[in-house]
């Protein structure tokens, strides 16, 4: 059987791998056939050939919800992701031979970074106007999932994933603070304990959000107050302004509202919680010239596009100031 598996790459075609990918994503052979613009029997034949190349190991199973990959099928799908990424890199590399400023670059952006990432990316585009850029935005879990599947060259995010190898470069500091409406009972207090603020109604993001995870870690072990889940930072800010509760958010998302007096930063012990912004890519992903230029731009110049930062005296955030 070992000999059969050794010969597996020679007996496998991209058509077979894409047939498995299409069945997995659409959950049915007929839908996969439509996606691939072939007939259902043709899809079935490719799947049989692929399983034969693996000594008959089943690659998917039929369930009430449709076709699902087996453990072996998931391994083959990982290989497909790598092959597709390599083919995209090859196509981009050939285009890049036409000149340093041609080609493509793609970047994932965690949703909290949308307050500064567009300015950094716009500066890159001005320097490389012929580069075609693709930007993908999602929460932390979505961005990590797409990065793992090689769906873009790099991403801008907070703490990098740990379950697969990545390269990272620090963009700059990323403070998080607890905010409330200006007339909140705690807004004028100093040295508020975590235990006291934990009893407030907290407005937090959906599961998979980095700020949600940070908030849960900060208050771990303390009695919980009421919690309300809200799906975006913008809506959370509006809800806090309306007096619906307090929230832990990135200081980079609330600078304008604090400066205008529409939000107040609570002076809570242990805050601001300081994290960092990173540009991250898969360790094995080879950046082509356009992508390498974007990586270097974000790593070397990204900090200058962070919109605001907290100036602190001792441990107390006093005000938000424009970066010089």
The verdict on 260 and 181 lying in the same domain is: yes
Cβ neighbours around 175 below 10 Å, total: 19
Give the end of a domain, one of 47, 82, 117.
82
Residue 240 lies in a domain: yes
The verdict on 131 and 181 lying in the same domain is: no
> In the chain, how many domains are there?
3
Output the pLDDT for position 308.
60
Residue 272 CA to residue 274 CA, distance in Å, equals: 6
- The domain of 11 spans 2-82
Q: What is the CATH number of the domain that holds 71?
A: 1.10.10.10
On whether the CB atoms of residues 277 and 170 are closer than 8 A, the answer is yes
Residue stretches of the chain with pLDDT short of 50: 1-3, 6, 310-324
Q: Tens of pLDDT along 209-259?
A: 888 888 888 888 777 778 889 888 899 999 999 999 999 999 988 988 998
The verdict on 237 and 260 lying in the same domain is: yes
The verdict on 167 and 179 lying in the same domain is: no
Output the pLDDT for position 75.
86
Residue 148 CA to residue 285 CA, distance in Å, equals: 10
Residue 205 lies in a domain: yes
Q: Tens of pLDDT along 279-318?
A: 999 998 988 888 999 999 999 999 999 876 544 323 334 4
The verdict on 104 and 226 lying in the same domain is: no
Output the pLDDT for position 324.
28
Q: What is the CATH number of the domain that holds 254?
A: 3.40.190.10
- SS3 for the chain, per residue? CHHHHHCCHHHCCHHHHHHHHHHHHHCCHHHHHHHHCCCHHHHHHHHHHHHHHCCCCCCEEEECCEEEECHHHHHHHHHHHHHHHHHHHHHHHHHHCCCCCCCEEEEEEEHHHHHCHHHHHHHHHHHCCCCEEEEEEECHHHHHHHHHCCCCCEEEECCCCCCCCEEEEEEEEEEEEEEECCCCCCCCCCCECHHHHCCCCEEECCCCCHHHHHHHHHCCCCCCCCEEECCCHHHHHHHHHCCCCEEEEEHHHHHHHHHCCCCEECCECCCCEEEEEEEEEECCCCCCHHHHHHHHHHHHHHHHHCCEEEEEECCEEEEEEECC
The verdict on 227 and 255 lying in the same domain is: yes
The verdict on 153 and 6 lying in the same domain is: no
The verdict on 184 and 256 lying in the same domain is: yes
Find, among 239, 268, 241, the residue nearest to 181 by Cα.
241
Find, among 23, 63, 65, 69, the residue nearest to 43 by Cα.
23
214-221 long-range CB contacts below 8 Å, 24 or more apart?
A: 214/176, 214/248, 214/273, 214/275, 215/248, 218/194, 218/248, 218/270, 218/271, 218/273, 219/194
Find, among 157, 173, 172, 175, the residue nearest to 113 by Cα.
157
Cβ neighbours around 239 below 10 Å, total: 18
pTM value > 0.75: no
Torsion of CA 134, 283, 173, 142, to 10 degrees: 50
The verdict on 148 and 290 lying in the same domain is: yes
């Amino acid at each position: 059987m070992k000999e059969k598996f050794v010969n597996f790459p020679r007996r496998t075609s991209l058509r077979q791998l894409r047939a498995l990918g299409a069945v997995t994503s659409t959950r049915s052979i007929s839908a996969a056939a439509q996606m691939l613009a072939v007939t259902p029997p043709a899809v079935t034949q490719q799947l049989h050939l692929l399983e034969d190349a693996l000594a008959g190991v089943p690659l998917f199973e039929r369930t009430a919800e449709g076709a699902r990959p087996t453990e072996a099928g998931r391994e083959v799908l990982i290989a497909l992701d790598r092959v597709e990424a390599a083919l995209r890199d090859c196509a981009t590399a050939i285009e890049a031979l036409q000149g340093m400023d041609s080609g493509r670059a793609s970047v994932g952006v965690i949703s909290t970074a949308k307050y500064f990432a567009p300015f950094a990316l716009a500066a890159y585009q001005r320097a490389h106007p012929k580069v075609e850029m693709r930007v993908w935005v999602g929460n932390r879990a979505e961005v990590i999932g797409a990065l793992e599947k090689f769906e873009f060259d790099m991403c801008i995010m907070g703490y990098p994933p740990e379950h697969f190898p990545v390269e990272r470069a620090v963009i700059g500091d990323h403070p998080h603070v607890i905010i409330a409406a200006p007339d909140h009972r705690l807004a004028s207090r100093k040295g508020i304990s975590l235990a006291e603020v934990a009893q407030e109604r907290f407005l937090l993001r959906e599961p998979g959000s980095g700020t949600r995870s940070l908030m849960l870690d900060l208050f771990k072990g303390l009695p919980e107050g009421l919690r309300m889940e809200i799906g975006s930072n913008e809506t959370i800010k509006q809800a806090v302004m309306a007096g619906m509760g307090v929230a832990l958010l990135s200081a980079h998302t609330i600078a304008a509202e604090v400066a205008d007096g529409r939000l107040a930063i609570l002076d809570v012990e242990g805050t601001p919680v300081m994290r960092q912004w990173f540009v991250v890519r898969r360790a094995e992903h080879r950046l082509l010239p356009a992508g390498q230029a974007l990586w270097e731009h974000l790593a070397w110049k990204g900090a200058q596009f962070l919109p605001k930062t907290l100036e602190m005296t001792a441990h107390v955030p006093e005000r938000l100031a424009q970066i010089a």
